[in-house]
Amino acid sequence: MHYRLYAPDDFPQLYAIEEACFEHRLRFDRRYMQRLVTRPSAATWIAEQDGQMAGFGAVGWSRQKNIDVAYIQTLEVLPVMRGQGIGAELLRRLERSSHAAGATVIWLHVDETNAGAIRLYEAAGYQHTGREKDFYPEGRPALIYQKPLGNESEGQRVSKSAG
């Protein structure tokens, strides 16, 4: 599997994955997805094999309450390609891009019925921090997960020296 950053010519294959992964009522529309993957304060990673896209992930970052945070917009792997570690590798790359951009925390929403995604996030060290009612269409709730970014021992040194 080859991993690389998004290029504009990738959009048709990328959106085909969106269509394969989500029912019409749950997917991002083309215009919104185009904005997500082309924002300057964002990174979109592509997983491909033999020139065919197998999955992608998109993350954006911003400053909120004097903290640089990253938000995972979406992480999608074609159903036939799941279970091969592609999602985990895309997630690591989203985290590294976010950390390189200065984010110290990364977070996301996940459908509370998406057991596979929840397992992936928890295995990667994400902590369940809340639940948002009516996040998805038809009143479906989302779970909120987050994870600190960066070197934990570095963060511990900062706290010890600050105290």
Residue 121 burial (10 A CB sphere; 0-12, 13-18, 19+) = buried
Q: pTM of the entire structure?
A: 0.87
pLDDT in tens, 67-101: 899 999 999 999 999 999 999 999 999 999 999 99
* pLDDT interval class at 152 (50, 70, 90): very low
Which residue bears the tokens 């990253």? Answer: 70
pLDDT of 155 higher than 80? no
What is the 8-class DSSP label of residue 48?
E
pLDDT in tens, 103-148: 999 999 999 999 999 999 999 999 999 999 988 888 889 999 999 9
Q: How far is CA 42 from the centre of its chain?
A: 11
Q: In what order do the strands lie in the sheet with 52-64?
A: 2-5, 42-49, 52-64, 67-77, 105-111, 140-148, 127-136
Which superfamily is assigned to 2-162 in CATH? Gcn5-related N-acetyltransferase (GNAT) (3.40.630.30)
Query: Which pLDDT value is given to residue 136?
Result: 85
Distance in angstroms between the alpha carbons of the first and the last residue of the chain = 46
Query: Which pLDDT value is given to residue 12?
Result: 96
pLDDT in tens, 14-55: 999 999 998 887 888 999 999 999 999 999 999 999 989 999
Query: Which pLDDT value is given to residue 26?
Result: 80
